A and B are shown apart, each in its own frame.
Chain A
Amino acid sequence: MFINATRGLIAATVLGVSAVAAQAQDFTPENPECIAPANPGGGWDFTCRQVGKELQDLGLIDKTMQVVNVAGGGGGVAFAEVVNKRADDNDLIVAASSATATRLAQGAYPGNTTDQVRWVASIGADYGVIAVSADSEIETLPQLLDMIKADPRSVSVAGGSAVGGWDHLKVLIAASAYGVEDVRKVKYVAFDGGGEAVTQLLAGSVQAFTGDASEAKGFVDSGDIKVIAVLAPERLEGDFADFPTAKEQGVDAIGANWRGFYAPAGMSDAAYDAWAAKIGELYASDEWQEIMANNGLAPLDLQGAEFEQFVTDSVSEIQNISREIGIIK
């Protein structure tokens, strides 16, 4: 009796939570497919595979999600393929992140724009950090930015993305929020991935590191690097709770590397709503919260129209900074 009642209660709660979603659940993708716009092993590949596995484990899709790697052009090849060849595919979602938005904003996907696809949902965000090596004299973000202000040549900042990429923009957002006048003078050195950049920080080749919280996690745990600012609206949970945000140090800068999905523009509304609801439900599950915690992902819970708005806003923000530093005209 008691057990049955509890079960009923749980079922009711679940139903209640997903009441909005329930209408959209009529649609179930027949052959769910996720395009990872990069080679196996990267963040986009991870996004597709983890989400595909969890959606199936939670029973939100019947069949195994097929993951297809369409590498090339920093995601541009996949974007062009979705726009040109798969425009009305209801079974398809594509992994995306801030990098996608950055490239769209800077026109790095020739001829493609944000509104050529439908933005489905986010699955979390990786907030930016600025770090120095553990034995550095620099203790706070303003201290670092003062040094840059006084002599931009004295500080090299290393990051894992190309010039104009997201890691670079994060430093510039912080520098410009602090009142560094010509952000173009900030010396940024591009490495192949955050891991290599941290290694060079430890080797002493560069003075500061800009990257995502998840990239820095292992080195923070081991005490090799010191995070001087987290570019989040408020302090992160867990291991990063000790580190101050840029905001509390008087630098109003936020940099979130979000992860999420887009879908073809011609996807039917029913399918679009269903995908958004399914990923929303996945996001709310305990399993996903655990995956987020393990991978250093912070909350960012947006679906459907809200997410669409979020992406559009962040694209125009990136466009403004890029124009300021002369990456685009």
Chain B
Amino acid sequence: MDVLANLGDGFAVAFTLQNLGLALLGCFLGTIMGALPGLGPSNGVAILIPLAFTLGLGPTPSLILLTSVYYGAMYGGRISSILLGIPGDEPAMMTVLDGHPMAKKGMAGEALSLSGIASFVGAFIATWGLILLAPQLVKIALLFGPAEYFALFALAFATLGGVSSTNQAKSAFAAMLGLGLAMIGVDTQTGVPRFTFGEVHLYDGLDFLVAIVGLFALSEVFIFLEHRHGGSDANSGQLKLGRLTPPLSMIKQCTPTMLRTSILGFIAGVLPGAGASLGSFISYSMEKRLVDKEGTFGKGDPRGVAAPEAGNNAAAGGALVPMLALGVPGSGTTAVLLAVLLSLNITPGPLLFAQNPDVVWGLIAALFIANFMLLALNIPMVGIFTRVLMVPPRILMPIVAMVSFVGIYGISGSSFDLLVMIGFGVMGWALRKLDVPLVPIILGTLLGNTMENNLRRAITIDNGDWFTLVDSPLALTLWAIAIIGFVMPLIVGRLVRSKMHERGDEEGSITD
């Protein structure tokens, strides 16, 4: 087979001592960057670009280094999600929902190693998808016009109600708040600044990294400050690591989940503009709809950890498809990788596979190698990471605050962003008091702009005709799923609720 022969050549390119060393270095650095709140994969890759250039690396070694960082950061994001309840990057947000409760139940070790395995499965399947389907997959991207994109985002938000289980109304409120925050900035469809108050820093809108770090990390610090005299030290002292490897039964239970969400995440990744965040988001809410019969999602269900992790790592692989085959980045990180390719004199696009086979196949082989390395790195390192939990909060929290400030200032170099971050921190603290889940806010801010732009593009193209939104079979299908996803829980929920009632509300607001 052609594909296998090409892949063999790719491995021949990748299996040199230098390239393997670069992959290892990239994986390690990437994991650390992913784990630090605020430093996501796109910044991680961007920070290492100068390193690749100053080392004078050729195209293939540079790409190997940078994609290892990319995959590493996707793995690493889960660590702080699970241990601290603070997402390390945007795609790892959904992992907080079940990962942190698991850690609180004393299963941090299991959660980390299970999510490592889920990440591996997701990335592994996505890499095969990239090999076998890349040329065909481009056609999927072409099926999505603005109307279909809007339907897809509507689907994501319609199934959102299930993500935060405490109170549908509160999570809807949170999503609206997020969508409202997304309005800030220059409107690309008319060029008019909205809610910027003449402040030039707001013209590009709010940076969601700033929002995430403020909402999650800083509000955590505020909560700690508030309880300083209380027993919060005693509380966290109870956290146990649990075993470091997941029991086989848990893996078995999660296997169908991982396979389903890998495919779903991969498709979300292939769509330009949707990216890994949407991948993990859709994976989680779909999986919850599908298998959460007992209402355990959000309370530390292992499947709730496996789903978003397999989903976002598969999306990371999927996002490489449009970048390589169309030259259109599927996510922020691939946008940075695209720029690297361009400055290495490689033009991604329809002809890349024919013109630079060594680069493409070397890259793909590197993805496989990085993936295995990450699995090997992550399982034994679980023990080291979980030590974080042993650090008492009075030491840990100042570190979280410091990393937040340094991280955000390091990326943007703007003190205005620090103020915005503090604002979000205060908001997050207040919202936690009111039991409003924080995840939908971020999703609203993150996806709101794209959703709005696609709606308006669709309407403009069809001269103001709103029926364009339901004009294609694909759009209709997406709408149907959205409506079912929204209405079903209302009907089924009533039946389930009577059972749920017995369980009571002992978990409170840990879903945020």
Cβ-closest chain A residue relative to B147:
A205
Nearest chain B CB to A158 CB, angstrom units: 8
* B50-61 near A? 1/0 per residue, CB < 8 Å: 100110000000
B200 and A77: CB pair below 8 A?
Answer: yes
Q: Which residues of B contact A191 (CB under 8 A)?
A: 457
Using A189-B457, A218-B327 as known contacts, say yes or no to A163 and B191 having CB atoms under 8 A apart: yes
Closest to A328 in B: B191
* A interface, size bucket: 35 or more
**Docked pose: A42 CA to B342 CA in angstroms:** 10
Can you list 9 A-B contacts with CB-CB less than 8 angstroms, sorted by A residue number?
Answer: A49-B53, A67-B50, A68-B413, A72-B414, A74-B186, A162-B187, A162-B189, A199-B272, A200-B146
Residues of chain B within 8 A (CB-CB) of A68 are 413
**B201 contact from A67, A77, A294, A295, Cβ within 8 A:** A77
For residue B334, which residue of chain A has the nearest CB? Answer: A41
Contacts of A199 in B (CB 8 A): 141-142, 272, 322, 326, 328
- Residues from chain A with a CB closer than 8 A to the CB of B49 are 40, 49
Question: Is A45's CB within 8 Å of the partner chain B?
Answer: yes
**B461 interface contact, C-beta 8 A:** yes
> What A residues does B453 contact at CB under 8 A?
190, 192
Q: Is there a chain B Cβ closer than 8 Å to A144's Cβ?
A: no
The reply to whether B189 and A190 contact each other, CB–CB distance below 8 Å, is yes
Beyond A70-B413, A203-B142, 13 additional contacts (C-beta under 8 Å) are: A46-B343, A53-B53, A68-B413, A72-B200, A73-B200, A77-B200, A109-B200, A110-B200, A153-B463, A189-B457, A196-B272, A199-B326, A217-B347
Q: What's the nearest-Cβ distance from chain A to residue B322, in Å?
A: 8
Residues A205-223 near B (CB distance < 8 A): 205-206, 217-219, 221-222
Query: Which residue of the partner chain A has the closest CB to B193?
Result: A108
CA distance A217 to B336 in the complex (A): 19
Contacts of A217 in B (CB 8 A): 347, 349
In the complex the two chains form, what is the Cα distance from A189 to B190 in whole Å? Answer: 10
A290 nearest in chain B by CB position: B345
Complex CA distance for A42 and B340, rounded to whole angstroms: 10
**Cβ proximity bits B310-354 to A, threshold 8 Å, 1 near / 0 not:** 000000000000100011110000011011001101011111000
Whether the pair A41, B335 counts as a contact (CB closer than 8 A) is yes
Q: Complex formed: what's the CA distance from A49 to B50 in Å?
A: 9
CB distance from A116 to the nearest CB of B (A): 14
Question: When the two chains form their complex, are residues B326 and A195 in contact, meaning their CB atoms are under 8 A apart?
Answer: yes
Question: Within the complex, what minimum Cβ distance (angstroms) separates B441 from chain A?
Answer: 22
Residues of A within 8 A of B327 (CB): 195, 218
Taking CB atoms, residues of chain B closer than 8 Å to A219 are 349-350
Please give, as numbers and ranges, the residues of chain B lying within 8 Å of A106 by CB-CB distance: 191
Contact of B191 with A165 in the complex, beta carbons under 8 Å: yes
